[in-house]
Structures are given as structure tokens and as C-alpha cells.
């Protein structure tokens, strides 16, 4: 079965306390889309085989918009009927290197906050609406991008759905006031996002959130498992990787 058939069966976790995350299984993958310029930023864009008015903004992790694993996820979304765009939210600044000195990570992060992305989001939304004919737009983000996805769900009611994969906004008072349905995917054995943070998020959302949401924890999994762990060489993790990706697609299909 192709990984891009219609139904796919086949670190930094929060902006206040970033922690090292392993790049995992970096795949060798060229991508099916193309790179374009969207106002002041570059982006990877891939379109579905048939015209669609649905689009997904795919938001990178700390390793940047050119990471093959993230482009693989964008192509997966396109194969399921969405125009997928993965913008360079670092706006030309160097992505984090797996060989980087983690003691300098917070310094590197200072001008790359996942909660200061409005200018880029506005440009991408305009591009999708005016040049791609998108009428229903969602977001999917990983790690750094998971935080950004949570942030967008607080700021942009026009974005119909979000899937935040291992990422939490922690420093905003309105962080539970989601404006669009959001699925949060977490790993049980995640040293970047401890389970007490996940439990707290779920409790507060239950108390304060007025839109649909889901918080789902995958047993035995580690940070990055959805997009940075290869199912073909991690057979014990394969069912969880596939389930998380299917959950992502189902959530977007339902709300976007």
C-alpha cells in the first residue's frame, strides 16, 4: 500500500521551557511539491491530484521547513485532498541543527518564538485564499509547530481546525480559550512534555473551552513519534504512528 493512499493507516514542547529533542529517524525524501515565495517567506507547497477548496498549513519543528519528514507529512495531507503549505516560519533564519550545542538553544530560540508568527500566518492565509482558492483552512504542527498550532487556534477563528502534535502554549492567560476545534496529540514517555502538563491542559480545557477539542496520549511513545519515527524500522511503534496519523486526518476531515 502506498503511504499516500486516501486513508493513511500506514524539541520543543512549550514556549516557556524548551528542552532538547532528538531528530529521530530523518528520512531521505525529496517531496512531491515545489518551493514558492509567499510575500516575505519561502514555502513548500503541494497540491492534491484533483482541485480542492480545503488547505492545511503544516508547521515545522525546530529543525525547519526543509526537514524531509515534515514535507512527507505535507505530501500525505495532499494525497488526502488538501492543498498543503509548509512555510518557513523562521523567515530565513537558520534552523536548529541536530549537532547544535543545547546549552545555546534558548539563545537561538529568542527570535523564533512560536507565538510571534501573525505576520507569517496572515501572509499564508492570504496566499491560500487568493491563489489556491482555499475556503476551509486548517493547521497541523509538530513540536515547535505544535505550540504554533495551539497559538493559531487562540487567535484565528477563520482557521477551521488544528492538530497540535506535542506542543502546548503555556504563557498566555487565554491559552484555554480555543476558537477552533483542536486535537492535541502527545507521547506518554515525553521528557519535553511531562504528563502532568498534559493532564493540566485537559482539565483546564474541560473547564474553560467552548469549542470541540480532544487530548490524546499514545502509550509508550516518545517525543517526535508521529513525524520523526519511521514505522518501517520501528515495528513495535508502527500501530501508534499509524493511529496518530489516522486521527490527524479524521479530525481535519471532520472540521475542515
In the chain, % helix, strand, coil (3-state, to 5) comes to: 30, 20, 50
Buried residues in 95-125 as b, exposed as e (16+ CB within 10 A): bbeeeeeeeebeebbeebebbebeebbebbb
CA distance 114 to 89: 8
Q: Which residue from 214, 217, 224, 169 is spatially nearest to 195, judged by alpha carbons?
A: 217
Report strand pairing: 41-46 vs 54-59.
unpaired
C-alpha cell at 191: 521528557
Q: Which residue from 55, 45, 105, 97 is spatially nearest to 75, judged by alpha carbons?
A: 45
Q: Angle between the 238-255 and 68-79 helix axes, to the nearest 10 degrees?
A: 50
CA distance 127 to 159: 14
Task: Provide the annotated active-site residues.
Answer: 143, 190, 223
Amino acid at each position: 500500500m502506498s503511504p499516500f493512499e486516501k486513508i493513511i493507516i500506514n524539541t520543543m514542547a512549550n514556549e516557556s521551557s524548551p528542552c532538547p529533542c532528538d531528530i529521530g529517524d530523518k528520512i531521505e525524501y525529496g517531496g512531491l511539491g515545489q518551493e514558492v515565495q509567499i510575500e516575505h517567506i519561502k514555502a513548500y507547497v503541494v497540491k492534491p491530484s484533483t482541485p480542492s477548496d480545503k488547505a492545511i498549513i503544516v508547521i515545522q519543528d525546530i529543525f525547519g521547513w526543509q526537514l524531509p519528514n515534515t514535507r512527507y507529512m505535507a505530501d500525505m495531507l495532499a494525497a488526502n485532498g488538501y492543498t498543503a503549505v509548509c512555510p518557513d516560519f523562521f523567515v530565513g533564519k537558520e534552523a536548529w541543527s541536530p549537532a547544535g550545542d543545547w546549552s545555546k538553544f534558548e539563545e537561538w530560540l529568542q527570535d523564533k518564538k512560536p507565538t510571534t508568527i501573525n505576520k507569517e500566518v496572515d501572509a499564508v492565509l492570504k496566499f491560500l485564499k487568493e491563489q489556491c482558492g482555499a475556503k476551509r483552512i486548517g493547521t497541523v504542527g509538530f513540536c515547535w509547530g505544535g505550540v504554533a498550532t495551539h497559538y493559531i487556534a487562540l487567535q484565528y477563528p477563520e482557521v477551521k481546525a488544528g492538530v497540535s502534535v506535542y506542543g502546548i502554549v503555556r504563557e498566555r492567560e487565554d491559552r484555554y480559550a480555543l476558537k477552533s476545534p483542536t486535537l492535541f496529540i502527545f507521547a506518554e514517555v515525553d521528557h519535553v512534555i511531562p504528563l502532568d502538563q498534559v493532564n493540566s491542559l485537559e482539565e483546564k480545557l474541560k473547564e474553560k473551552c467552548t469549542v470541540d477539542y480532544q487530548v490524546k496520549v499514545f502509550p509508550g511513545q516518545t517525543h517526535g513519534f508521529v513525524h520523526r519515527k519511521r514505522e518501517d524500522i520501528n515495528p513495535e511503534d508502527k500501530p501508534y504512528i499509524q493511529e496518530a496519523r489516522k486521527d490527524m486526518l479524521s479530525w481535519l476531515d471532520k472540521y475542515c
